[in-house]
Amino acid sequence: MKLRVGILTAGGDCAGINSAIHWFVYSAMDRDLVPLRGMMFEVIGIRDGWLGLASVKPEDPNSLGEWTLNLTPELVRTWDRYGGTRLGTTRINPFNPQTDLSEAILENYKKLQLNALVVLGGFDNLGVAYRLYKKGLNIVGIPKTIDRDLSETDYTLGFDSALNTITADVDRLRTTAGSHGRIFVVECMGRKAGWLTLEGGEASGAAIILIPEHDFLVERVIEILQNRKAQGKRYSIVLISEGAKPRGMQEFRERKGRDGFGHYYLGGVGKFLAEEIEKLAKLEVRYVALKHLQRGGHPTAYDRRMGRKFGIAAVDMIVSEDFGRMVSLKHGEITTVPLKKALERLNLVDVEKFYDTKDYKSKDVIL
Ligand code: F6P
């Protein structure tokens, strides 16, 4: 039996995606496994996510060349070491009622004669994948987002690479912060989830960590900074999530409007806080938003390994017709979980367990 499988990446890019594609293709096309599986695979890479699957005209060779490519082990051989997504991605919602692309996607899945579709996505795009599954497509999900806000998995591709970037960038800022005796407010991504900021703050030893799950008081931030100064600390690093907000205020938005999934474009809370500290505490402050630097660059060893494990597991899921589910890491083991369950709620920081709401840092002691 020969199976034709499509694979696409949708939503924000991140490091580790290409590793998952590499290992998916390597495992799918492993000739030694053909007798065991009783099937052979052909893997079609779809460019630019849902846009590619909706736009391709399978009967037109030019359009096929524009929106798809045959993925072979030779082609993807070196992909595992590169960041971003070699297939390209877009942030569009095919179920947007004004610009509905879902019918085109369903039709093209048939016209391309796909037996299954592997979707590398976060909460929004695995949500799209689940809706398509309910409409009859054989969907397998691979979780990827630097936000690590998907439930039912302990890991999403890209998180570790982003965390390492934050840590390295804070190290870099420390030298200049120390030289000048300044405070640095560093804004991290993560949308509604504080994981990147919390763990980035733990890894880099930030003095203050501010996350979306707990609204902060500017006065308390200043108090902590002044106490540190009084203790002889020359400088301080404040890590703040783009979705964090002072008590009683709204999230900060850097642009008007919303994306295809209804999310505001967050950004600017770090700048606000830096200005407030300067104004109210008369301390010298600088502000840095790490923004897409966190999503860029090469995957860490962990993201390459997880890409490998997730990619290989996705092939196994197709072999065993484990559709409507996503690959997951749970307690150190690779498993699969229903998409429906993973999409029930976002995985946010449990403040009571992990966050010190008095000193604005991680709760390291369980006693
Ligand atoms: O979901 C991943 C993420 O990096 C968020 O942390 C961030 O808010 C958003 O994507 C930024 O999106 P864009 O790449 O569209 O600017």
- Is 147 a catalytic site residue? yes
Q: Where are the alpha helices (DSSP H) in 33-101?
A: 34-37, 50-55, 61-67, 73-76
179 and 34 both lie in a single domain: no
Unique residue bearing structure tokens 């594609």: 21
Residue 283 domain flag: yes
Distance 291 CA to ligand 1 centre (A): 8
pLDDT tens-digit map of 21-30: 999 999 999 9
Cβ atoms 149, 348 nearer than 8 A: yes
Is the pTM higher than 0.85?
Answer: yes
Residues 10-61 have pLDDT tens digits of 999 999 999 999 999 999 999 999 999 999 999 999 999 999 999 999 999 9
The Å distance, Cα 144 to ligand 1 centre, comes to 12
User: DSSP state, 324?
Assistant: S
What stretches in the chain show pLDDT beneath 70?
A: 366-367
Residue 274 falls inside a structural domain: yes
The CB of 192 under 6 Å from ligand 1? The reply is no
Enclosing domain of residue 249: 163-295
| 290 and 303, same domain (yes or no) | no
Position 351 in a domain: no
Q: Is 20 in the pocket of ligand 1 (CB under 6 A)?
A: no
Asked whether 92 lines ligand 1 (CB < 6 A), one says no
Beta carbons within 10 angstroms of residue 251's beta carbon: 17
Amino acid in position 186:
V
Nearest residue to 324 via CA among 93, 125, 126: 126
Query: Alpha helix (H) ranges present in the chain?
Result: 17-28, 34-37, 50-55, 61-67, 73-76, 102-111, 123-134, 159-180, 195-204, 218-230, 269-281, 301-319, 339-342, 351-354
Residues 144 and 34 reside in one and the same domain: yes
